[in-house]
Amino acid sequence: MAIRERLSGNEAMAVAMRQINPDVVAAFPITPSTEIPQYFSQFVANGEVDTEFVAVESEHSAMSACIGAAAAGGRAMTATSANGLALMWEMLYIAASSRLPITMACVNRALSGPINIHNDHSDSMGARDSGWIQLYSENNQEAYDNFIQALRIGEHDDIMLPVMVCQDGFITSHAVENIELLEDDKVKSFIGEYEPDHYMLNSKEPIGVGPLDLPAYYFEHKRQQAEAMKNSKKIILEVAREFEKLTGRKYDLFEEYKLNDAEIALVIINSTAGTAKTVVDKLRANGVKAGLLKIRVFRPFPAEEIANALKHIKALAVMDKAESFSAVGGPLFAEIKSTLYGTADGIKIVNYIYGLGGRDVKADDIETVYSQLSDISKTGNIGETYRYIGVRQ
């Protein structure tokens, strides 16, 4: 029977880590993810886990320690945000290219500068091409559920890639919500024991991890990584189906909210989806055929499935909580527009940059977006494609 609790998103992730009982957790404090290793260190001190907790001198060292632990054959985890993730940059690529299924709790925060400790997605979006699977979470329950599923995904024999589980800093990381936890034994049964085929402490098979990879082999190894990322889409869905049988909670590559008969829609990530759903309900009550597609899996990007889900939409807004400085739109917009090209060219599509540095996004802002989409749908005139919402001009 599920355990009903009231936890913040950070507490929920720390509890998931305790239930998993990894071999190594290495972390360095950075707001707003600091609470995760802080809570977990209490579990270590209390003897509730037998994890080796490594308090390092930087986030670069945290990922380095996780790489060493995973290469040796252990389950390794960490948590970070913003500049901490940026300091790991070099090691993110090494973890992925070494095919080490490290699990990271990424508590999204604006990437300096100027210095800002509040939420946007510039940190994880900046790492989108590092080779990590990326899962995003609307609320505390999803953060907890995604973190548990991440183990099964990354450690699958056909995948062996690190997984980043993202949630919005302060908005969900520090806000306390009702949550349903699994019993410890069910979590352990679901994730199983980690038994890698190849690891450095296996005396029967001496191997090297992260060696010099010259032109004769490097390209092939990158192709293998790319194939593993493509394969992970199928495994993500398989794990989600097993998780649904266990909990009754259904997960997919993305969530379609009142999208089937929608004429106008948003594509959005993380906690703002909750605000947008409220607006969709209000518009529906007034006879407006509004819908929403919430991204759960950003890497691998489920292009074919998204195109199929959106092909009937007349006007679409892609909401980016990150600025890519491409001068043509944000990172999510680039992916969605590329996805729809050649498959759903009739959709009128615009991009909105919003919420940078923790700027509040209100229901009124979302209503404004839907109102502009209605105008586009009626007139066929897109106007400016690359827009901002909630910023002083």
pLDDT tens per residue across all 393 residues of the chain: 689 999 999 999 999 999 999 999 999 999 999 999 999 999 999 999 999 999 999 999 999 999 999 999 999 999 999 999 999 999 999 999 999 999 999 999 999 999 999 999 999 999 999 999 999 999 999 999 999 999 999 999 999 999 999 999 999 999 999 999 999 999 999 999 999 999 999 999 999 998 899 999 999 999 999 999 999 999 999 999 999 999 999 999 999 999 999 999 999 999 999 999 999 999 999 999 999 999 999 999 999 999 999 999 999 999 999 999 999 999 999 999 999 999 888 999 999 999 999 999 999 999 999 999 999 999 999 999 999 999 998
Domains 3-247 and 255-388 alike in fold? yes
d(CA 23, CA 233): 27
Q: Give residue 380's region: left, alpha or beta (phi > 0; psi -120 to 50).
A: left
Is the peptide bond prior to 300 cis by the omega test (within 30 degrees of 0)?
A: yes
CATH of domain 3-247: 3.40.50.970
CATH topology of domain 255-388: Rossmann fold (3.40.50)
The pLDDT assigned to 211 comes to 85
State the pLDDT at residue 393: 81
Helices marked H in 54-197? 59-71, 82-87, 89-97, 122-126, 140-154, 184-191
Q: What is the CA radius of gyration of the chain?
A: 21
Q: Which of 104, 91, 95 has the alpha carbon at shortest distance from 27?
A: 104
Residues with Cβ within 8 Å of 180's Cβ and at least 6 positions away in sequence, in order, are 2, 3, 4, 5, 141, 247
Helices (DSSP H) in 341-387: which residue ranges? 363-379
pLDDT score, position 146 = 98
C-alpha 310/C-alpha 124 separation (Å) is 25
Other CB atoms within a 10 A radius of the CB of residue 60 amount to: 17
- Residue in 309, 257, 307, 320 with CA at minimum distance from that of residue 283: 257
Tokens representing 173 are 């990381």
Q: Where are the domains of the chain?
A: 3-247, 255-388
